Amino acid sequence: MPTIIDGKTTAKKLRESVLHQTEQLKAQGVVPGLAVILVGDDPASQIYVRNKEKACADCGFYSEKHALPASTTEEELLALIDRLNRDDRISGILCQLPVPGHIDEQKVILAIDPKKDVDAFHPQNVGRIMTGDILFAPCTPAGVMTLLDTYGIDPKGKKCVVVGRSNIVGKPQAMLLLHRHGTVTICHSRTVDLPAETRQADILVAAIGKPKFITADMVKEGAVVIDVGMDRDENGKLCGDVDYDNVAPKCSFITPVPGGVGPMTIATLMQNTLLAAKLQHGLQ
């Protein structure tokens, strides 16, 4: 049976380390602050935002939640971001995506000061992820890398297959694995013979957004399987992109859902907010 990668415990340790560093920073008169913006009433986003606020409290941060109605105009949202960019209490700004359809997501991403862009979505930070000169780590992919490191899994020379090509997960995940000398393949909905690709993987990262999409026949014996999915199964129960019960027996390591990658995303966001505070006060 595989080793189950415990994201909950790993994230807790990371948050404790952030709290410790925050206490040292506070002794120098600096308090990290995160502003979280939520537009509309998407239930999943509401849960994510609540968890982010709770993590801020655990890490000793100042935090502000801006819950705006779905009718908020693009102009109003951009004005809020402008105000937060200039607010010294705010080290990091995060606008929960997706935003309602009448707001241009790209404009929102561009409006956030790259020095406060703790999601690493601004093209300036995306470019730095591409070259390897990383300022802010992309939260979910970097959380995955921390899990691999924690469990002694080295991507160097390994065949890494990332399923999913989103800007938030798939593309930056591929870059981080590449920087660590993995041989990386990115697969997506137009890939011809996906199972043939995924069966090659020593490290398989599933970031598709479809419940239990990765089945046992798609996984090589002894593979490391990382499940980034946060889906609902046919009974409305939280599950991942991997058919865990059938895939797990074939793996050397696997992440569960919940309790795998999810907590790492938030812990990495806390790490980024701490870094933003340090940078803005010339302490890093």
Residues 97, 130, 134, 135: which binds ligand GUN (CB under 6 A)?
A: 97
Q: At what angle do helices 43-58 and 7-27 cross, to 10 degrees?
A: 50
Pick 56 or 139: Cβ nearer ligand GUN: 139
Residue from 34, 77, 90, 94 that binds ligand GUN (CB under 6 A)? 94
- # binding residues, ligand GUN (CB under 6 A): 9
Q: Which of residues 244-283 bind ligand GUN (CB under 6 A)?
A: 265
Per-position DSSP letters for 38-57, written without gaps between them: EES--HHHHHHHHHHHHHHH
Which positions ≥6 away from 34 have C-beta within 8 Å? Answer: 52, 56, 61, 62, 63, 64, 90, 91, 92, 93, 94, 118, 269, 273
Active site residue 96: yes
Asked if residue 226 binds ligand GUN (CB under 6 A), the reply is no
Q: Which residue in 113, 119, 202, 227 binds ligand GUN (CB under 6 A)?
A: 119
Q: Is 65 a catalytic residue?
A: no
Q: Which residues pair with 227 in a beta bridge?
A: 206
Q: Which of 113, 117, 119, 227 is catalytic?
A: 119
Question: x/- binding map, residues 145-174, to ligand GUN, per CB under 6 A?
Answer: -----------------------x------
- The answer to whether the beta carbons of residues 93 and 113 sit under 8 Å apart is yes
Are 89 and 63 contacting, i.e. CB atoms less than 8 angstroms apart? no
Which residues are designated catalytic?
Answer: 52, 96, 119
Tell me which residues touch ligand GUN (CB under 6 A): 94-97, 119, 139-140, 168, 265
